[in-house]
Amino acid sequence: MPRHNDPTSKLFYKGASDDFIVFVDDHDVLNRWRGDRSVPLADVLNGWKIFVTHKHGAQGVLDGASKASLENEFGTSNEDDCITQILEKGEYQSTISREQQGDTNFRNGPAYR
């Protein structure tokens, strides 16, 4: 059965010291938030976490951003302020992961060795 083909929307912020990513629900809600700050951030974000890719671009390994890396890049370790800056200046990217097929030939033994 095919699975894992949901669209993923994120904002990529290329900083001076590191690259940061936050996940968002929808591009339309993000644009509405950019025009009207009365839209709650909880409606815009898909998880309240800032990720860092260690200068490997938007497709790098995602680690949680430390307070030190946030302080170095944004001048504050307050996640709300950092998320606001990423949402304002970040580049929107949306991808759809390709389908993954389950193991269909059980005669070959276990798929995970």
pLDDT tens-digit readout, 51-64: 999 888 877 788 99
Residue 103 lies in a domain: no
- Residue 109 confidence class, pLDDT cut points 50, 70, 90: low
Q: Taking 80 as the threshold, does the pLDDT of residue 106 lie above it?
A: no
CA–CA separation, 111 and 19 (whole Å): 35
Strand partners, 69: none
Cα-based angle 107, 108, 113 (whole degrees, multiple of 5): 135
Residue 19 lies in a domain: yes
Residue 102 lies in a domain: no
Helical spans, DSSP H, in 1-113: 27-35, 41-44, 67-74, 79-89
Cα 14 versus chain centre, distance:
13
Question: For residue 39, what is the domain's CATH number?
Answer: 3.30.1250.10
Percentage of the chain with pLDDT > 70?
A: 79
Q: Domain residues for 14?
A: 7-92
* Residue matched to tokens 């992961």: 97
Other C-beta atoms within 10 Å of 67: how many?
Answer: 12
Total domain count, the chain:
1
Residue 65 lies in a domain: yes
Residue 72 lies in a domain: yes
